[in-house]
Copies of this chain bind each other. A is one copy, B any other.
Amino acid sequence: MRIGILGYGNLGQGVEFAIKDNLDAELVAVFTRREPSKIKINTPNVPIVKISEIADWKDKIDVLILCGGSATDLPVQTPEFAKLFNVVDSFDTHAKIPQHFAKVDEAAKSSNHIAVISVGWDPGLFSLARVYSNAVLPNGKDYTFWGKGVSQGHSDAIRRIKGVKNAKQYTIPVDTALEAVRSGSNPELTTRQKHTRECFVVLEDGADTAEVERQIKTMPNYFDEYDTTVHFITEEELQRDHSGLAHGGFVIRSGKTGQDKQHSHIVEFSLKLDSNPEFTSNVLVAYARAAYRLNKEGQAGCKTVLDIPPAYLSDKSVEELRAHYL
Protein backbone atom coordinates (compact mmCIF):
# COMPACT_ATOMS: atom_id res chain seq x y z
CA MET A 1 0.00 0.00 0.00
CA ARG A 2 1.36 3.37 -1.11
CA ILE A 3 1.18 6.01 1.62
CA GLY A 4 1.37 9.78 1.37
CA ILE A 5 1.95 12.02 4.39
CA LEU A 6 0.46 15.50 4.56
CA GLY A 7 2.26 17.69 7.10
CA TYR A 8 5.72 16.88 8.42
CA GLY A 9 5.70 17.73 12.14
CA ASN A 10 6.05 15.30 15.03
CA LEU A 11 3.09 13.27 13.79
CA GLY A 12 4.20 13.19 10.16
CA GLN A 13 7.68 12.10 11.16
CA GLY A 14 6.12 9.44 13.40
CA VAL A 15 4.18 8.09 10.41
CA GLU A 16 7.42 8.00 8.44
CA PHE A 17 9.05 5.85 11.16
CA ALA A 18 5.94 3.67 11.52
CA ILE A 19 5.89 2.86 7.81
CA LYS A 20 9.31 1.20 8.20
CA ASP A 21 7.81 -1.25 10.71
CA ASN A 22 4.89 -2.13 8.41
CA LEU A 23 6.33 -4.19 5.58
CA ASP A 24 3.23 -3.88 3.41
CA ALA A 25 3.44 -0.07 3.49
CA GLU A 26 5.60 2.21 1.38
CA LEU A 27 6.07 5.96 1.74
CA VAL A 28 5.72 7.53 -1.70
CA ALA A 29 5.56 11.28 -0.96
CA VAL A 30 5.46 13.89 1.79
CA PHE A 31 3.26 16.94 1.10
CA THR A 32 3.83 20.26 2.81
CA ARG A 33 2.64 23.85 2.91
CA ARG A 34 6.21 24.91 3.58
CA GLU A 35 8.95 25.34 1.00
CA PRO A 36 9.88 21.70 0.16
CA SER A 37 13.60 22.44 -0.14
CA LYS A 38 13.64 23.48 3.51
CA ILE A 39 12.40 20.10 4.77
CA LYS A 40 14.67 17.13 5.38
CA ILE A 41 13.09 13.73 5.97
CA ASN A 42 14.64 10.46 7.13
CA THR A 43 13.72 8.24 4.18
CA PRO A 44 15.98 8.44 1.12
CA ASN A 45 14.52 9.02 -2.36
CA VAL A 46 11.06 10.10 -1.24
CA PRO A 47 9.93 13.36 -2.87
CA ILE A 48 8.80 16.31 -0.76
CA VAL A 49 6.01 18.00 -2.66
CA LYS A 50 4.27 21.35 -2.39
CA ILE A 51 0.66 20.84 -1.28
CA SER A 52 -0.57 22.75 -4.33
CA GLU A 53 0.61 19.85 -6.53
CA ILE A 54 -1.12 17.12 -4.55
CA ALA A 55 -3.80 16.44 -7.18
CA ASP A 56 -1.11 15.12 -9.53
CA TRP A 57 -0.64 12.23 -7.09
CA LYS A 58 -4.25 11.07 -7.26
CA ASP A 59 -3.45 7.68 -8.81
CA LYS A 60 -0.07 7.19 -7.18
CA ILE A 61 -1.23 7.00 -3.56
CA ASP A 62 -3.50 4.45 -1.89
CA VAL A 63 -3.96 6.30 1.41
CA LEU A 64 -3.09 9.86 2.41
CA ILE A 65 -2.40 10.25 6.15
CA LEU A 66 -3.30 13.73 7.35
CA CYS A 67 -0.91 14.91 10.05
CA GLY A 68 -2.23 18.42 10.69
CA GLY A 69 -3.92 19.82 13.77
CA SER A 70 -7.56 19.52 14.79
CA ALA A 71 -8.15 23.22 15.38
CA THR A 72 -7.77 24.59 11.86
CA ASP A 73 -6.08 22.05 9.52
CA LEU A 74 -8.21 18.92 9.61
CA PRO A 75 -11.70 20.51 9.48
CA VAL A 76 -10.69 21.82 6.04
CA GLN A 77 -8.18 19.22 4.82
CA THR A 78 -10.02 15.98 5.56
CA PRO A 79 -13.16 16.78 3.50
CA GLU A 80 -11.03 18.39 0.79
CA PHE A 81 -8.60 15.51 0.32
CA ALA A 82 -11.19 12.77 0.82
CA LYS A 83 -12.32 13.83 -2.66
CA LEU A 84 -8.96 12.76 -4.09
CA PHE A 85 -7.70 9.98 -1.82
CA ASN A 86 -8.56 7.47 0.86
CA VAL A 87 -7.59 9.42 3.97
CA VAL A 88 -6.98 8.89 7.68
CA ASP A 89 -6.91 11.68 10.25
CA SER A 90 -6.48 12.08 14.01
CA PHE A 91 -9.21 14.70 14.56
CA ASP A 92 -9.48 14.90 18.34
CA THR A 93 -11.93 17.68 19.20
CA HIS A 94 -14.47 15.30 20.74
CA ALA A 95 -17.40 17.74 20.73
CA LYS A 96 -17.05 18.45 17.00
CA ILE A 97 -16.73 14.85 15.78
CA PRO A 98 -20.37 14.57 14.56
CA GLN A 99 -20.10 17.65 12.32
CA HIS A 100 -16.64 16.64 11.07
CA PHE A 101 -18.00 13.17 10.30
CA ALA A 102 -20.92 14.59 8.29
CA LYS A 103 -18.72 16.80 6.09
CA VAL A 104 -16.12 14.09 5.50
CA ASP A 105 -18.75 11.43 4.81
CA GLU A 106 -20.31 13.53 2.07
CA ALA A 107 -16.95 14.19 0.41
CA ALA A 108 -15.78 10.57 0.63
CA LYS A 109 -19.04 9.10 -0.66
CA SER A 110 -19.21 11.52 -3.59
CA SER A 111 -15.79 10.36 -4.78
CA ASN A 112 -15.91 6.70 -3.67
CA HIS A 113 -13.18 6.94 -1.09
CA ILE A 114 -12.83 5.75 2.48
CA ALA A 115 -12.03 8.34 5.15
CA VAL A 116 -11.24 7.19 8.68
CA ILE A 117 -11.43 10.04 11.18
CA SER A 118 -10.47 10.49 14.84
CA VAL A 119 -7.79 7.79 14.83
CA GLY A 120 -5.22 7.65 17.62
CA TRP A 121 -5.60 6.75 21.27
CA ASP A 122 -8.20 9.22 22.58
CA PRO A 123 -10.22 9.32 20.42
CA GLY A 124 -9.15 5.94 19.09
CA LEU A 125 -8.05 3.01 21.21
CA PHE A 126 -9.66 4.54 24.32
CA SER A 127 -12.95 4.85 22.39
CA LEU A 128 -12.73 1.15 21.53
CA ALA A 129 -12.15 0.33 25.20
CA ARG A 130 -15.20 2.41 26.20
CA VAL A 131 -17.51 0.83 23.60
CA TYR A 132 -16.41 -2.78 24.14
CA SER A 133 -16.50 -2.53 27.93
CA ASN A 134 -19.91 -0.83 27.93
CA ALA A 135 -21.30 -3.52 25.64
CA VAL A 136 -20.06 -6.39 27.80
CA LEU A 137 -20.86 -4.77 31.16
CA PRO A 138 -24.11 -2.84 30.65
CA ASN A 139 -24.58 -2.44 34.39
CA GLY A 140 -21.53 -0.39 35.35
CA LYS A 141 -19.62 2.85 35.48
CA ASP A 142 -16.89 4.33 33.27
CA TYR A 143 -13.69 5.97 34.40
CA THR A 144 -11.05 7.58 32.17
CA PHE A 145 -7.77 8.84 33.59
CA TRP A 146 -5.17 10.66 31.50
CA GLY A 147 -1.46 10.93 32.11
CA LYS A 148 1.07 11.28 33.27
CA GLY A 149 1.58 13.52 30.27
CA VAL A 150 1.78 17.06 28.98
CA SER A 151 -1.52 18.76 28.20
CA GLN A 152 -0.95 21.14 25.30
CA GLY A 153 -4.10 23.15 26.02
CA HIS A 154 -3.22 23.73 29.66
CA SER A 155 0.38 24.62 28.83
CA ASP A 156 -0.90 27.16 26.30
CA ALA A 157 -3.27 28.64 28.90
CA ILE A 158 -0.37 29.24 31.30
CA ARG A 159 1.73 30.83 28.55
CA ARG A 160 -1.00 33.41 27.97
CA ILE A 161 -0.61 34.77 31.53
CA LYS A 162 1.25 38.10 31.73
CA GLY A 163 4.82 37.58 32.92
CA VAL A 164 5.07 33.95 31.72
CA LYS A 165 7.74 33.23 29.11
CA ASN A 166 7.24 29.49 28.73
CA ALA A 167 5.43 26.63 30.49
CA LYS A 168 4.65 22.92 30.48
CA GLN A 169 1.71 21.38 32.35
CA TYR A 170 1.46 17.72 33.32
CA THR A 171 -1.85 16.00 33.99
CA ILE A 172 -1.32 13.24 36.58
CA PRO A 173 -3.85 10.58 37.60
CA VAL A 174 -4.28 10.22 41.36
CA ASP A 175 -3.12 6.74 42.46
CA THR A 176 -5.61 6.42 45.30
CA ALA A 177 -8.48 7.18 42.89
CA LEU A 178 -7.22 4.53 40.45
CA GLU A 179 -7.00 2.01 43.28
CA ALA A 180 -10.52 2.88 44.49
CA VAL A 181 -11.87 2.28 40.98
CA ARG A 182 -9.99 -1.01 40.64
CA SER A 183 -11.44 -2.20 43.95
CA GLY A 184 -14.86 -2.43 42.29
CA SER A 185 -16.48 -0.04 44.77
CA ASN A 186 -17.76 2.20 41.91
CA PRO A 187 -16.72 5.40 43.69
CA GLU A 188 -18.14 8.81 42.78
CA LEU A 189 -15.02 10.85 42.08
CA THR A 190 -14.83 14.62 41.78
CA THR A 191 -12.58 16.27 39.22
CA ARG A 192 -10.17 17.11 42.03
CA GLN A 193 -10.00 13.50 43.20
CA LYS A 194 -9.13 12.06 39.78
CA HIS A 195 -6.22 14.17 38.52
CA THR A 196 -3.64 16.61 39.82
CA ARG A 197 -1.91 19.24 37.68
CA GLU A 198 1.77 20.06 37.87
CA CYS A 199 3.13 23.16 36.13
CA PHE A 200 6.70 24.08 35.21
CA VAL A 201 6.88 27.79 34.47
CA VAL A 202 9.61 30.08 33.12
CA LEU A 203 9.02 33.73 34.05
CA GLU A 204 9.87 36.90 32.13
CA ASP A 205 12.40 39.13 33.89
CA GLY A 206 10.75 41.03 36.72
CA ALA A 207 7.49 39.05 36.71
CA ASP A 208 5.50 38.72 39.95
CA THR A 209 5.95 35.10 41.07
CA ALA A 210 3.13 35.07 43.59
CA GLU A 211 0.69 36.72 41.19
CA VAL A 212 1.46 34.27 38.35
CA GLU A 213 0.99 31.33 40.72
CA ARG A 214 -2.32 32.78 41.93
CA GLN A 215 -3.56 33.32 38.37
CA ILE A 216 -2.69 29.75 37.39
CA LYS A 217 -4.30 28.10 40.42
CA THR A 218 -7.53 30.08 40.14
CA MET A 219 -7.96 29.89 36.35
CA PRO A 220 -11.58 28.80 35.73
CA ASN A 221 -12.10 25.37 34.06
CA TYR A 222 -8.38 24.85 33.54
CA PHE A 223 -7.07 24.77 37.11
CA ASP A 224 -9.57 25.95 39.71
CA GLU A 225 -11.11 22.52 40.22
CA TYR A 226 -7.75 20.77 40.60
CA ASP A 227 -4.96 20.53 43.13
CA THR A 228 -2.25 22.33 41.22
CA THR A 229 1.47 22.57 41.95
CA VAL A 230 3.54 25.32 40.32
CA HIS A 231 7.34 25.16 39.95
CA PHE A 232 9.32 28.11 38.65
CA ILE A 233 12.35 27.03 36.64
CA THR A 234 14.74 28.42 34.02
CA GLU A 235 14.29 28.08 30.27
CA GLU A 236 17.34 25.77 30.23
CA GLU A 237 15.76 23.48 32.83
CA LEU A 238 12.48 23.47 30.88
CA GLN A 239 14.25 22.47 27.66
CA ARG A 240 16.42 19.88 29.41
CA ASP A 241 13.84 18.20 31.66
CA HIS A 242 10.44 18.84 30.07
CA SER A 243 10.81 18.40 26.32
CA GLY A 244 9.57 14.82 26.38
CA LEU A 245 6.37 13.75 24.65
CA ALA A 246 5.41 10.91 26.98
CA HIS A 247 1.72 10.33 27.72
CA GLY A 248 -0.78 7.63 28.53
CA GLY A 249 -3.83 6.87 30.59
CA PHE A 250 -6.40 4.38 31.76
CA VAL A 251 -9.95 3.46 30.68
CA ILE A 252 -11.66 1.41 33.36
CA ARG A 253 -15.18 0.06 33.48
CA SER A 254 -16.42 -1.38 36.73
CA GLY A 255 -19.62 -3.40 36.58
CA LYS A 256 -21.84 -5.86 38.41
CA THR A 257 -23.56 -9.08 37.34
CA GLY A 258 -25.60 -11.85 38.91
CA GLN A 259 -29.03 -12.40 40.39
CA ASP A 260 -28.43 -9.84 43.13
CA LYS A 261 -25.63 -7.96 41.33
CA GLN A 262 -23.28 -9.57 43.83
CA HIS A 263 -20.36 -10.06 41.41
CA SER A 264 -17.96 -7.26 40.53
CA HIS A 265 -15.93 -7.08 37.36
CA ILE A 266 -13.17 -4.71 36.31
CA VAL A 267 -12.22 -4.19 32.65
CA GLU A 268 -9.12 -2.05 32.31
CA PHE A 269 -7.26 -0.74 29.28
CA SER A 270 -4.13 1.33 29.73
CA LEU A 271 -1.35 2.92 27.72
CA LYS A 272 2.10 4.03 28.83
CA LEU A 273 3.72 5.87 25.94
CA ASP A 274 7.23 7.32 25.67
CA SER A 275 6.18 9.27 22.58
CA ASN A 276 2.58 10.32 22.14
CA PRO A 277 2.99 11.37 18.47
CA GLU A 278 4.92 8.24 17.45
CA PHE A 279 2.34 5.94 19.02
CA THR A 280 -0.53 7.88 17.43
CA SER A 281 1.29 7.58 14.10
CA ASN A 282 1.39 3.81 14.41
CA VAL A 283 -2.36 3.72 15.01
CA LEU A 284 -2.84 5.91 11.92
CA VAL A 285 -0.86 3.49 9.76
CA ALA A 286 -2.86 0.48 11.02
CA TYR A 287 -6.10 2.28 10.09
CA ALA A 288 -4.61 3.31 6.73
CA ARG A 289 -4.38 -0.42 6.02
CA ALA A 290 -8.05 -0.81 6.96
CA ALA A 291 -9.05 2.15 4.74
CA TYR A 292 -7.17 0.66 1.81
CA ARG A 293 -8.82 -2.74 2.24
CA LEU A 294 -12.34 -1.38 2.75
CA ASN A 295 -12.00 0.75 -0.37
CA LYS A 296 -10.68 -2.20 -2.42
CA GLU A 297 -13.83 -4.07 -1.35
CA GLY A 298 -15.88 -1.27 -2.90
CA GLN A 299 -16.86 0.57 0.28
CA ALA A 300 -16.93 4.36 0.54
CA GLY A 301 -17.71 7.04 3.10
CA CYS A 302 -16.53 8.17 6.48
CA LYS A 303 -15.69 5.59 9.16
CA THR A 304 -14.45 5.72 12.72
CA VAL A 305 -12.61 3.05 14.71
CA LEU A 306 -16.03 1.86 15.92
CA ASP A 307 -17.08 0.87 12.39
CA ILE A 308 -14.05 -1.21 11.44
CA PRO A 309 -13.55 -4.92 12.19
CA PRO A 310 -10.30 -5.51 14.12
CA ALA A 311 -8.94 -7.97 11.52
CA TYR A 312 -8.77 -5.15 8.94
CA LEU A 313 -5.96 -3.49 10.92
CA SER A 314 -3.63 -6.46 10.83
CA ASP A 315 -1.09 -7.31 8.15
CA LYS A 316 -1.86 -10.97 8.84
CA SER A 317 -4.53 -12.98 7.01
CA VAL A 318 -7.79 -13.83 8.80
CA GLU A 319 -6.76 -17.50 8.68
CA GLU A 320 -3.50 -16.72 10.47
CA LEU A 321 -5.28 -14.51 13.00
CA ARG A 322 -7.84 -17.25 13.77
CA ALA A 323 -5.12 -19.87 14.15
CA HIS A 324 -2.66 -17.87 16.26
CA TYR A 325 -4.18 -14.72 17.76
CA LEU A 326 -7.76 -15.73 18.60
A residues engaging B (CB < 8 A)?
14, 17-18, 21-22, 42, 94, 97-98, 101, 118, 123, 125, 127-132, 134-139, 182, 184, 257-259, 262-275, 278-279, 281-283, 286, 289, 304-311, 313-315, 318-319, 321-323, 325-326
Contact A304 B282 (CB under 8 A): no
Q: Which B residues are in CB contact (< 8 Å) with A313?
A: 131-132, 135-136
A–B Cβ pairs within 8 angstroms, 6 of them? A14-B257, A262-B274, A263-B273, A265-B271, A305-B326, A307-B309
Copies of this chain per assembly? 2
Contact B309 A308 (CB under 8 A): yes
In the complex formed, the residue of B with least CB distance to A16 is: B259
Give A29 Cβ to nearest chain B Cβ, in Å: 20
Sorted nearest first, the 10 A-B pairs with minimum C-beta distance are A135-B313, A263-B274, A263-B275, A135-B286, A266-B272, A257-B278, A306-B311, A21-B138, A127-B326, A21-B139
Contact A136 B286 (CB under 8 A): yes
Contact A130 B325 (CB under 8 A): yes
Contact B128 A132 (CB under 8 A): yes
Contact A325 B131 (CB under 8 A): yes
In the complex, what distance in Å separates the CA atom of A182 from the CA atom of B270?
11
Contact A323 B269 (CB under 8 A): no
In the complex, what distance in Å separates the CA atom of A134 from the CA atom of B259?
38
Which of B137, B282, B289 is the one whose CB lies under 8 Å from A137? B282
In the complex, what distance in Å separates the CA atom of A241 from the CA atom of B97?
50
Given A42-B259, A257-B279, 14 more A-B residue pairs with CB atoms under 8 Å apart are A21-B139, A97-B322, A125-B136, A128-B310, A135-B314, A258-B278, A265-B274, A265-B275, A266-B270, A266-B272, A266-B273, A305-B310, A306-B311, A307-B311
In the complex, what distance in Å separates the CA atom of A76 from the CA atom of B185?
42
In the complex, what distance in Å separates the CA atom of A318 from the CA atom of B102?
13
Q: Which B residues are in CB contact (< 8 Å) with A309?
A: 306-309
In the complex formed, the residue of B with least CB distance to A25 is: B138
Q: Which B residues are in CB contact (< 8 Å) with A271?
A: 265-268
Contact B304 A275 (CB under 8 A): no
In the complex, what distance in Å separates the CA atom of A101 from the CA atom of B172?
45
In the complex, what distance in Å separates the CA atom of A101 from the CA atom of B318?
12
Contact B270 A268 (CB under 8 A): yes
In the complex, what distance in Å separates the CA atom of A321 from the CA atom of B98?
10
**A282-B136, A306-B309 given; A123·B326 CB < 8 A:** yes
**A132-B313, A286-B135 given; A94·B326 CB < 8 A:** yes
Q: Which B residues are in CB contact (< 8 Å) with A136?
A: 125, 279, 282-283, 286, 313
